[in-house]
Structure formats: C-alpha cells, structure tokens
Amino acid sequence: EVQLVESGGGLVQPGGSLRLSCAASGFTFSSFNILWVRQAPGKGLVWVSRIDSDGSSTYYADSVKGRFTISRDNAKNTMYLQMNSLRAEDTAMYYCIRGGFDIWGQGTMVTVSS
C-alpha cells in the first residue's frame, strides 16, 4: 500500500523547536518530490515546503523561510521538517504529501503555546 506516515508533532513553547518526520512506503520514494502542507485549526490548506526527489532543491513559503529546513534520507525512505523559532501562528496539522499531491499522510499536529 502506498503510504506516508508523519510523526514528531506535539506541544512546544514559542521560540522552541520540533522535527517532523514523514516515512514513506509502497512506492519508490527516491523518485518523488515531497511537500509539506499545513492546516491551522478550522482553516484552509497552506503550502509550507517542498524538496526535490534527490534533495538537490528546496522551496519554502515566505512565512517559514529561515526558520524551517526540509531534508530527506532516501536510504531510509524518510523526509524531515526541522522547525525552529516556532510561533503561535505555526500551530497547525502538518501533512506530508507526495509530489503531484496524489498521496497525503494522516497529518501530525503541532501546537505552539506557553
């Protein structure tokens, strides 16, 4: 079964850090770009970041540029989102998505609050 499974979410204080992981299975992970999209409670979908299949290029939304870093380990079929200097407005469900937006994970919730 083609699957993406996120983990690493939780409660963190403002200014803190968190690392999200996205584990892939059922497809050739190294052949696909992977993206993160987030959804604040009761709000719409917002693209956050993308990494190319070989990790050579990365892209970030202006709202997270300089604070978030996307990376991947194709040998482990896993992608990561390192989130630093977290703010209350980063509170959201974070979804890992296969390039093309055809496969979505179940999401991992990040809450930034004191």
Partner 1 sequence: DVVMTQSPLSLPVTLGQPASISCRSSQSLVSGDGNTYLNWFQQRPGQSPRRLIYRVSNRDSGVPDRFSGSGSGTDFTLKISRVEAEDVGIYYCMQGTHWPPWTFGQGTKVEIK
Residue 109 contacts residue 9 (beta carbons within 8 Å): yes
The minimum distance between CB 4 and partner 1, in angstroms, equals: 9
Q: Which is nearer to partner 1, 72 or 98 (CB)?
A: 98
Gap between the Cα atoms of 82 and 103, Å rounded: 22
- Interface residues for partner 1 in 50-89 (CB under 8 A)? 50, 59-62
With CB under 8 A as the contact rule, the residue among 12, 95, 110, 112 that binds partner 1 is 95
Q: Which is nearer to partner 1, 13 or 45 (CB)?
A: 45
Question: Which backbone phi and psi does 30 adopt, to 5 degrees?
Answer: -70, -5
CB neighbour class for 30 (10 Å; exposed up to 12, middle 13-18, buried from 19): middle
SS3 91: coil
The minimum distance between CB 6 and partner 1, in angstroms, equals: 10
Give residues in contact with partner 1 (CB under 8 A): 35, 44-47, 50, 59-62, 95, 100-102, 104-107
